[in-house]
Amino acid sequence: MSSSAKKQVPVGSRDDLQIDPSRCLRTRFSESVCNHCQAICPAAALSLEDGLVINQEQCSGCLLCTTVCPSGALEQQADFQAIILQLRKVPKPVLGCCRSKEQAHAWLSCLGGLAEEHLLTLSQRLSGALTLNLIHCDDCPNSAILPLLKERLQRMTASGLTAGGCNLVTATSQVELQYQPETVDRRSFFTSFRNSLFQAAADVMQTSAKPVERSSSYGDKRIPQRRELLNQTRSSLPEEQQATAAKQFDHSIRFNTACSACQGCVAICPTGALVSNVQEEHPEFVQERCTGCGLCVEFCLDQAIRL
């Protein structure tokens, strides 16, 4: 294959990201040391010195940064709920990326964007087995996602959080893939349509009635997409798995006697996990909204917060 032909293979770009610099911890507090996105980026496309900046020429859209950003400053453009509905239409669904679009039933710009919260959601909202099409990953510029994705899969399996749900498997060869195109006969069409309607209704019932606003306002409080998925999915888990999910994903905060109740941590928290409470000597902590970003700890002048 010629070098010019190689350049035509789509691998994603900065346009696959939803970017909100005002939510970046380094933007909210200049002394924050958060650099998760910069550390995981294999293309060195991220800069944090003068705020969150992504180099358009270097970014290949691997989406790894979206799996580690704790505040929602970097998120996928893809509608993950729509992807799940698409995968439900077939008995043996395959999830692929833009390079393998001809052999998948739904697609992300890169499977590197599958965080553990996504894997848990896929496992619990699908049935049977879901195959992740990794056939082209080895020779892709985004091949750095492979060991990280496999590590997440192993961690989820070892934790037991995917037990009882859809089996998540990977395919690195055509033999392992066993892809079957979606059938469109009349009977299967109406069955698929009916099932999608029922499941969509169930998803709506599980989702908060108040829509999440995407705003660049500094004072805006919202939960990142990954945390939203987690909160929606684990509510349907058995009690034992809910406890496991809490150990793996939840954080707790303690205030010591040095807390002056200045409410500075309430103002700077990007997710609304800390709320003013006039009845107490310190703010109220809302655990399901906390992503463990640690900004409150960094910002507290009294060093009164322990995460």
Task: Kindly tell me if the per-residue pLDDT of 5 is higher than 60.
Answer: no
Assign 96 to helix, strand or coil: strand
2 or 149: which leads in pLDDT: 149
Quick one: how far is CA 213 from the chain centroid? 17
pLDDT surpasses 70 at 203: no
Stretch among 38-52, 62-76, 94-108, 178-192 having the lowest mean pLDDT = 178-192
State yes or no: pLDDT of 116 exceeds 80.
Answer: yes
Q: CB neighbours of 261 closer than 8 A, spacing ≥ 6?
A: 280, 281, 282, 283
Q: Where are the beta strands (DSSP E) in the chain?
A: 17-19, 46-47, 53-54, 74-76, 94-97, 106-108, 129-133, 167-171, 254-255, 274-275, 284-285, 305-306
Q: What H or E segment, with its residue span, contains residue 264?
A: helix 264-268
Query: What would the two tokens of residue 293 be?
Result: 């970003």
Cβ(254)–Cβ(290) below 8 Å: no
Number of CB atoms found within 10 A of residue 23's CB: 26
User: Can you give the pLDDT at residue 186?
Assistant: 53
Asked if 115 contacts 260 with a C-beta cutoff of 8 angstroms, the reply is: no
- What local confidence, expressed as pLDDT, does residue 209 receive? 35
> What three-state secondary structure class fits 253?
coil
**How many Å apart are CA 197 and CA 229, to the nearest integer?**
19
Sign of CA dihedral 170, 127, 105, 98: negative
Instruction: List the single range of 19-33, 102-116, 135-149, 173-187 with lowest mean pLDDT.
Output: 173-187
Average pLDDT of the chain, as a whole number: 85
The values of phi and psi at residue 181, to 5°, are -60, 150
Domains of the chain: 3-76 (3.30.70.20), 80-203 (no CATH), 251-307 (3.30.70.20)
Mean pLDDT score, 83-88: 95
Q: How confident is the model at residue 191 (pLDDT cuts 50, 70, 90)?
A: low
Adjacent-strand bridge partners of 178:
none
Strand partners, 130: 168
Residue 13 or 132, more confident: 132
Handedness of CA 93, 97, 98, 103 (dihedral sign): negative
| The predicted structure's pLDDT at residue 272 | 95
Partnered with residue 18 across adjacent β-strands are: 75
Distance, CA of 67 to CA of 48 (rounded, Å): 17
Give the mean pLDDT of 90-100.
Answer: 89
pLDDT of residue 240: 95
Determine the average pLDDT of the residues in 156-169.
93
Per-residue pLDDT, 197: 53
**pTM for this predicted structure:** 0.84
Name which of 17, 19, 21, 20 is nearest 77 in CA terms.
17
